[in-house]
Amino acid sequence: MLYGDLKKIAEERLDDAKVLYHNGRYDGAVYLCGYVLEIALKARICKILNLDEYPDQSKFKPTYATHDFDILLKLSGLEKEILLSKTKNPSLFIQWSLVTGWNPEMRYKIMNKTKKEVGHMLVALIDVFKWLKKQW
pLDDT tens track for 50-77: 999 999 888 888 889 999 999 999 999 9
User: What is this structure's pTM?
Assistant: 0.93
User: 72 with 38: CB under 8 angstroms?
Assistant: yes
Rounded distance between C-alpha atoms, residue 31 and residue 15, angstroms: 13
At 109 the pLDDT is 87
> Residue 18, CB half-sphere, CA atoms under 13 Å: how many?
10
- What is the reported pLDDT for 1? 82
Each domain of the chain, given as residue ranges in start order, spans 3-134
CATH of domain 3-134: 1.20.120.330
